Structure 1
Amino acid sequence: MKKITLLLFLATLSIMAQKTKKPNIILVLADDISAREFPIYKSDTWSSAMGNKNSQDPNLRASTPVLDKLAKEGMYVKTAWASVVCSPSRAMLMTGRYPHLHKWWGNKTIGQYTDEDGNLGTYPLFASSPLTIGHVAKKGGYASIWSGKSQMRNKNLQNFGFDEGVFTPGESAITEIGENPYSNFTLEQKKVNGKKELINLDSGKPLDFSYYASSSWYWKPHVMLMNHPSSKKQFEWWPNTKKSKKEYGVNTYGPDVELDFIFDFMERKAKEDKPFFVYHTTHLGHGAMNYLNPEQHKYKWIETPKITWKNGKYIKTKPNITGGKGVYDTHNSLSESGIHAHVNYLDYQMWLYLEKLKELNIDDNTIVIFCADNGSSKYGKNSPDSQKGTHVPFMLYGPGFNFTKKGEQDVLVNLSDILPTIADLVGFEFPKDYEINGKSLMPFLTTNKKTHRDWVYGYKDNLQIIRGTKVLKDGLDKWYDVREYPSDLISFPEVKDWENADKELIKERDYLNGILPRFNQFDEAQNGPLSEAHKKKIVKDKAKQKAKKLAKVAAKTQKQKIK
C-alpha cells in the first residue's frame, strides 16, 4: 500500500511539474466496436459489411490515420476490457465499480430499488454510486459536458454531475420533456385493426421486417439539450433557435451535431480559461434503423457522410439528400454501409478534435482518451465467449505531457480504470470508505512501472469473465491459454487437460478463481435497497415469469409431439 501511495504521489508531482494549469480531458466512447476493427490492433479478421460473418476483405478494412497517430505518439493498450454490452459497460466506466455495487448487470437486468418517494424503479448510478465521472470532474473544479448517447434510461440526467448535456436519444419517447416536434424519423408501436404494428412515422407504413421502437440518432436526429446557454429550460428539444430551425433537416447528421455542441463548449471554456471535461458518448459503431433506405435493413451500419483523407487532412463531401415520406435520394454523397465506414468517420472526428485543440491553443494541455463500450454487433456484443464481447480499443494521447509510455502497451486495462485515472488528473481523492474497483493509470503512465494490473474483469448477468496475463476464463466457464495473441485476437487455445497443464497456468487459474467470489452476487444481491413490499413483489413477479416460461416450453413440446 505504501508503494502504491508513493507512486501516486510521484505521478501527481510529475503532472504538476509539467503544467501549472489542470489538463483539459476529452473522453470519447465509441459504441459497439471491437478492438479488431481498428488497424492498429493488427487483426487479420474484421466484420463484414452486414456484420453477419467475419471478413478479411481489404475493401472492408477501416482506415484510421489519425487514431493511428494517437496510438503511436500517445499509447494504446493491447488488452483493454469492458463488459459485453452497453449499459453495464457504461456503468463500469462512469462509477469505477463492478455490478456488485452499481447493480447494472446487463441491459435487461438492471437492479431495482425503492426510491425516496417509495416508488419501485431502476437503480440509478447516482444513487448506487454518488461519485460518478461527472461528479468527480465537478469536485475537481472542471466545467463538464456530456454529449451523445446516455444509455441511462434518459431519466434524471441532471443528477449525474454534468454542467451541460447534448443527448441524441434512441428511445422513441422521452416523457420528461414531451414529444420531439422536429423529427418524424421514429418507429412507433401502434394498434392497426386491433393488431400491434411497428410504424415508420416518416412514411406512415408498417415495417415488413423485425425491429424495435426507436428514434433516429443519425440522420434528422432527435436532439435534447440540457442546461445549454441558448435554452430557457433545463431540458429542451433542438433545434431551438431561428438559425438552427432553418438549417435543420434530413441532411442534419447526429454525430456532427454532438461535436458542434462540444466545440462550442470548448471554445467558451477556453475563453474563460477554465479546465474542462468532455464526455463524448458517440453512437458511431451502433447499428440503426435506416430511415433513408428502409429496404437496406439487413445492413447493420447505415451510411455516414462521405469523407476522404488527402495530404494529411480530411475532406468531407457535403451530404445531399433529397426527398421525403420514406423515399429519398442521397445523390452518391454518403459512404457505403458497414462498420468500417463508422470507424472511418470516428477517425475524421478525432482529426477535427486535434485541429480544434490547435486552434484554441490548448493542444499541449489536453489529454484525449479513446475507447469503446463492448465488442462489435453480431460478433462480440452480448457474447460471453472468450474475449469477443469484452476486448475493446483503448488509446491515450497527451502530447504536452512527458508520459513514460509510448505506442503499444502489453498490459491489462479495465474500463473501470478510467474514473480513478480522471480523479488523479483533476485532483480528487475518494473517501477511504468508498469502494473503487478500478485502478488509476497515472502511476503506470508517469513512472517506469512495467505493469498496470494483474487481471481484468467483464460480466453479463450471472456470467463472470476474467483474465490475467496467462489464462482467461470466459462466461461459459471455458479456460484459455492467453500467453500469445492469435492473428485474429480471439482464437486462443482452450485449456482442457488441467492435470497436464503448465504450472504457471494452474497457478494463475487458482489466483483468478480466488478473486471471482467477491463479485459473484447476481443471484443474492441483484437489486439495490428495497422496501419489504417491493421485495415480495419482485419475488412474486419472478415466480410468474418462471411459470410463464415453463408454460411456453410445455406448449412447444406438446406441438412437437403432435407433429
Structure 2
Amino acid sequence: MKLLLLYLTLGLCLNTVIYAQKKPNIIVIFADDISARELPIYGSTKWSPAPQGGTTSDQKFRAKTPVLDQLAKEGVYIKTAWATTICSPSRAMMMTGRYAHIHKWWHLKDRGTWVNPQGNKVTWPLYKSSPKTIGHIAKEGGYATYWAGKTQMSGVDQFGFDEGVFTPGEVRNRKNLYPYSDFKIKAKKVDGKRVLVNVDTDQVVKYYAQDGWYWQPHVQLMNHPDAQNKFEWWPNTKEAKKEYGLHTYGPDVEMEYIMEFMERKKKEDQPFFIYHTSHLGHDGWNFFSRDTNPKTREKWPGTPKIKWENGKYTRTQPKVTGDKGVYDTHNTVTEGGIHHHVNYLDYQVWQYMNKLKELGEENNTILIFCADNGTSKYGKGSFVSQKGVHVPLVIYAPGLHFNKKGEQDILVNISDILPTIAEIAGVSIPKEYEINGKSLLPYLTTGNKEHREWIYSYHKDKQLIRGKNVLIDGHGKYFDVSKKPADLISFPVITDWSKVSEAHRKEKEMLEEILPKYDNFDTEHDAPQL
C-alpha cells in the first residue's frame, strides 16, 4: 500500500500494483539511421542490402534480433512511430519534446540562428530554446544522468547530464587534437584546392569530414570521477592506453563506461537515466578497406563478429593489424552492412539485460529502443510518404506491468518520449511551457485504446502529418494509410475523395486544420529575439 501511494504521489496513476522499490531506472537507446523495416519484428518484406544500401528481399541481408524480438513481444512495440527525416531535427525533437516551430532545428544544415551574449550570430542552442530537455527532466526527478555516443550538438555539458562518453568527442582543443588515432577525414588544401583527405593514408577521398567513431575511435569523457579534467580524452590511464588500438571499437567503449556508471549508481542507491545515442546504423568511413570507389565502398563498416546460440551471445575478440590503409582483420570483423549494425545493437541490448539482472534491477528498469530517422539510401532525408520518418520503437518495462503486450497499432511521435520520462520521474511540466509530445504511460498502463489521433513531422519548410486513415507527406500528397502494406510504405495515393470513406474525409479536414499551427518556417525561422 505504501508503494502504491508513493507512485500515486509521483503522478503514476497506474491500475496495477508496481513492485519496484524506487523510481525505475530509464534507458533510452537512440539508434542512428534505422528504418522500422530493418527490424524483423516489423514484418516488412523489404529491407536494406550491403554494401551501398537500397532495397532487397534477400535473406542474407536480413538482421537477426532475438533479444529485441523477445523484449518487443513481452513488452510493446509501436506499429507507427515517427521521428523526423534526418538526424539533428530528430535529436532536437527527442531531447525537447517539441517541434521545430519552437526549437528552430529545421534540418541538419538549417537551424535557426541566435545572437549570443558575445554578439555573435550562431545556431540557437537547444538548451536555450528549450531549458527542459530530457536530461534536465531526469535530473529534476532525482536521477543520475549519463549521455553516451553521438551528440551532434555543442554545449554537451548544458543538457543536464552528470557524465558522458562521446564518440567522437565534441569539445576539441584545436591546438591538441585527438592524439591517439589518425582515423580521420579532414579538409586540406592540395594544389590550392580544398579537398578531403584520409589522414591515415593521406589519400584524397570523396566523403565528408569526420573523426573516427567506430574502429580506433576518438573518445572523450565528461565529468568522469577518475579524470583530472571536466573533458578528457580517452584512453586516459596507462592500462587503457596499453589496451587501446586498431581493435578498439567505439560502441564497446560506450558500453564499458555505461556499465561502470550503472554499477556506481547502484552502489549509491540512486536511480539512473541513460541516454545512449549510438552511432550504429550510421554510415562511416571504413578505414580498414582500400576500396575508396564511392559506387562499391562499404557504406556501413563491419562490426566485431557475434553469434547467438543457446539463448546467449558470444563475441569474437577483434584482432586487427596493419597501418596506412593496409589492414588485416584476421576474420574477426564482419563484412559491411546495416544488418550487422542492427545485429550488434541487439547484442548490446543483451548486454544491458545481463547487467540489469546482475544488479538486481531488471524489474526496476524501463528500456526504450528507437531510432532518429530512416535508413540511409532508403528513407533518410526523404519526405515521401513516411519513408524518412517511420522508425522502430520498442518499450520494455516488466516492473510496470503494462496493460498492453506486443504490437500496438497506435500513432506515436518521438516527442512523446520526454513527457513519458517526466511522468515516470514525477516531474510536472508547467502548462505555459509548450510540449508537443504526449506521455505514453496512460495508454500503456490502462485500458485506453488509443494514444494519439495524429502524428507530425517536418523537413525544413516541408510538413508531414498522418492519422489512422490519411497521411499528408512533404510533397502535399494524400495517402490512404488505413491498411498496412507488406513493405510498410506502399500506401495508395488518394486522388478521388468521393471514393474513400467519410472517416477519411473528416480526418483530412482535421489534419489540414492542424498544419498551419506549426508552419512558421518562413515567418519565424530564427530565435525569437531576431
* Alignment TM-score, normalising by the size of structure 2: 0.95
**Alpha-carbon distance in 1 for matches of 2:17, 2:413:** 26
Asked if the contact 1:11/1:447 (under 8 Å) is kept, the reply is: no
Q: Which moved more, 1:405-414 or 1:229-238?
A: 229-238
1:53 corresponds in structure 2 to: 54
Alpha-carbon distance in 1 for matches of 2:305, 2:340: 9
**What residue is the counterpart of 1:111 in the other structure?**
112
Query: How much has 1:331 moved relative to structure 2?
Result: 1.2
Q: In 2, Cα distance between the equivalents of 1:465 and 1:294? A: 41
Opposite residue 255 of structure 1, the aligned amino acid is: P
Give, as a single letter, the amino acid of the residue that structure 1 aligns with 2:274: V
- Whether the 8 Å CA contact 2:20–2:363 is kept in 1: the answer is no
Letter paired with 2:182? N
1:403 and 2:402 equivalent?
yes
Higher helix proportion: 1
State the alpha-carbon separation in 2 of the partners of residues 16 and 230 from structure 1: 40
Q: Relative to structure 2, which stretch is displaced further, 29-38 or 400-409?
A: 400-409
Take 1:13 and 1:309, find their aligned partners in 2: how far apart are those partners? 36
Give the match's secondary structure for 1:444: helix
1:371 aligns with 2:364: no
Question: Which residue does 1:291 correspond to in 2?
Answer: 287
- Report the AA paired with residue 513 of structure 1: E
- Cα distance in 1 for residues equivalent to 2:487 and 2:302: 26
Q: Is 2:240 the counterpart of 1:233?
A: no
How far apart, in 1, do the equivalents of 2:363 and 2:176 lie?
Answer: 43
Aligned to 1:537: none
Q: Which amino acid aligns with 1:240?
A: N
Q: Which residue of 2 aligns with 1:385?
A: 384
2:263 is the alignment partner of 1:267: yes
Tell me if the contact between 1:12 and 1:424 (Cα under 8 Å) persists in the aligned partners: no
For residues 119 and 191 of structure 2, the distance between their equivalents in structure 1, rounded to whole angstroms, comes to 39
Return the letter of the residue paired with 1:377.
Answer: S
Cα 1:469–1:237 shift into 2, 3 Å: same
Match of 1:206 among 201, 204, 207: 204
1:450 alignment partner in structure 2: 449
Contact 1:375 1:391 in 2 (8 A): yes
Looking at structure 1, the residues matched to 288 and 112 of structure 2 have their Cα atoms a distance apart, in angstroms, of 37
Note the alpha carbon deviations across 1:92-114, whole angstroms, 9 max, x for none. Answer: 01000000111101001110011
Give the 3 Å change call, closer, same or farther, for CA 415–483 of structure 1 in structure 2.
same
Give the equivalent residue in structure 1 for 2:525: 526
Find the residue that maps to 1:18 and give its secondary structure: coil
For residues 427 and 158 of structure 2, the distance between their equivalents in structure 1, rounded to whole angstroms, comes to 19
Cα deviation 1:100-129 (Å, max 9, x = unaligned)? 111101001110011122221110110000
Aligned AA for 1:184?
Answer: D
The equivalences for 1:76-475 within 5 A come to: 76-152=77-153, 155-169=154-168, 174-175=172-173, 178-207=176-205, 210-295=206-291, 298-475=297-474
Aligned to 1:484: 483
* CA offsets 1:486-509 (integer angstroms, 9 cap, x no match): 000000000011244322111101
Q: Does 1:504 align with 2:503?
A: yes
CA offset digits 1:418-468 (Å, max 9, x no partner): 000000001100012100000000100111001100111111100000000
Deviation per residue, 1:498-537 (Å, 9 max, x gap) = 2443221111011000000000110011100345xxxxxx
Instruction: Give the SS at the match of 1:46.
Output: coil
- Trace 1:29-44 onto structure 2 (pairs within 5 A): 29-44=30-45
Distance 1:498 1:9 in 2: 47
The question of whether the paired residues in 1 share the 8 Å contact of 2:463 and 2:474 is answered with yes
Q: How far does residue 10 in structure 1 lie from its aligned partner after superposition?
A: 7.3
Q: For 2:248 and 2:192, how far apart are their aligned partners in 1? A: 36
Equivalent-residue separation in structure 2 for 1:475 and 1:453 (angstroms): 21
Amino acid of the structure 1 residue aligned with 2:355: K
Alignment partners' CA distance in 2, 1:29 and 1:279: 8
Task: Summarize the Cα distance change of 1:432–1:530 in structure 2 as closer, same or farther, 3 Å threshold.
Answer: closer
Letter of the 1:226 partner, please give it: M
C-alpha distance in 2 between matches for 1:261 and 1:478: 46
Q: CA deviation at 1:174?
A: 3.0
**In structure 1, distance between residues paired with 2:182 and 2:291:** 18
Aligned residue type for 1:66: V
Relative to 1, partners in 2 of residues 1:141 and 1:275: Cα closer, same or farther, differing over 3 Å? Answer: same
Partner of 2:106, secondary structure, is: coil
Closer/same/farther in 2, CA of residues 178 and 455 from structure 1, 3 Å limit? farther
1:457-487 C-alpha deviation (Å, 9 max, x unpaired): 1111000000000010000111100000000
Alpha carbons of 1:282 and 1:9: their partners in 2 closer, same or farther (altered >3 Å)? closer
Q: Check whether the contact 1:114–1:529 (CA below 8 A) recurs between aligned residues.
A: no
Deviation at 1:326, TM superposition (A): 1.4
1:158 is matched by which residue type in structure 2?
A: D
TM-score (norm 1): 0.90
Conserved 8 A contact 1:8-1:442: no
Q: In structure 2, how many angstroms separate the alpha carbons of the residues matched to 1:251 and 1:9?
A: 46
* Secondary structure, aligned partner of 1:505: helix
Which sits farther off after the overlay, 13-22 or 350-359?
Answer: 13-22
Evaluate the alpha carbon distance shift between residue 9 and residue 332 of structure 1 in structure 2; reply closer, same or farther with a 3 A threshold: closer
Counterparts of 2:412 and 2:214 in 1: how far apart (Å)? 31
The answer to whether the Cα contact below 8 Å between 2:366 and 2:397 also exists between their aligned partners in 1 is yes
Distance 1:261 1:283 in 2: 16
Deviations along 1:8-51, one digit per CA (max 9) or x if unpaired, are 98743558843340000000000000000000000000011134
- SS class of match (1:295): coil
Aligned-partner Cα distance in 2 for 1:161–1:10: 22
Indicate the SS of the match to 1:475: coil
Partner Cα separation in structure 2 for residue 350 and residue 21 of structure 1: 23
Moved more, 198-207 or 23-32: 198-207
Q: Which amino acid aligns with 1:508?
A: E
3-state DSSP class of the match of 1:105?
strand
**In 2, Cα distance between equivalents of 1:477 and 1:8:** 45
Kindly provide the CA deviation profile for residues 334-389 of structure 1, in whole angstroms up to 9, marking residues without a partner as x: 11211100000000010011001011111110110000000000100000000000
SS at match of 2:367: strand
CA contact (8 A) 2:145 2:273 kept: yes
| In structure 1, C-alpha distance between the alignment counterparts of 2:186 and 2:115, rounded to whole Å | 30
Contact 1:186 1:201 in 2 (8 A): yes
Distance 1:293 1:15, change over 3 A: farther
Q: Secondary structure at the match of 2:291?
A: helix
Q: 2:14 touches 2:446 (CA, 8 Å); kept in 1?
A: no
Where does structure 1 lack aligned partners over 5 or more consecutive residues?
Answer: 1-6, 532-563
Query: 1:284, 1:343 within 8 Å by CA — same for their partners in 2?
Result: yes
DSSP 3-state at the match of 1:299: coil
Q: For residues 529 and 174 of structure 2, what CA distance do their matches in structure 1 show?
A: 25
Q: CA RMSD in A?
A: 1.7
Following superposition, the deviation at residue 197 of structure 1 comes to 2.2
Contact 1:18 1:402 in 2 (8 A): no
> What CA deviation, in whole Å up to 9, does each residue of 1:140-179 have, x standing for no partner?
0100000000011xx22111110001111388x8347841
